[in-house]
Amino acid sequence: MISTHHPNLPAPADLQRLCQALAALDAINSPDAEYRYYTYTPEWSDHEAVFEMSDGEGDQLLVLFRPEGCVINGYLLGYDEPIKTDLIRGLPIAFQEFMLGEPVASIGTTFCLWHSAQGAWQIGTVEDEDNGSEELLDIFDGNPATYAEWATEYYTDETDRVPITAAAVTPLYLHETLTRAHALALNNELTDWPALAAELEIIGYPYAF
């Protein structure tokens, strides 16, 4: 289990590659961007990229990547928002504008953690361990089965699509070049290859089809 109190997360560079893979997987599984959980914007701002999880019902996760490292802002409905200054106590200056500005200020913050040049994941002054962070952070466990299980329920339930397997997810977790065969193993209903290619160009994920 991954949480703010058990931050067994990958290092920033590895986490960024995983975020690109998750965004690519969702682009494959949901050609309609409206229904995706995971997106990745490599040019959020100068020298900044952002990964976002949004369930459409209020829960939201933003991960900012900068040359100095990365910071994660999480918000879950039903959990109290701690005092912001406590949550970000010790936060490097490079991440403060993101955590104090928009869209984070409007979304809200129930947990926050960051990784900088000090070489470890850190949190501020947090007394309540029950902040729900494991609900949003477990997708970062690096296990293809975690995504496969979730995506099968979310994308294939009550459809004719075949279940999504860990074996089909694994090549993307390894950042292998995406082929048509790889993509069809995840979503056998894909037809608009130019649209998928355009999405992968934005995400920065390699493909050849």
DSSP 146-201: HHHHHHIIIIITTSSPPPPPHHHHHHHHTTPPB-HHHHHHH-TT---HHHHHHHHH
Q: What are phi and psi of 71, to 5 degrees?
A: -135, 145
Helix (H) or strand (E) holding 39: strand 38-45
In this predicted model, what pLDDT tens digit does every residue of 33-46 receive, in sequence order? 989 999 999 988 88
**pLDDT tens, 107-144?**
999 999 999 877 899 998 876 667 889 999 999 999 99
Q: Which band of pLDDT confidence, cut at 50, 70 and 90, is reported for residue 27?
A: very high
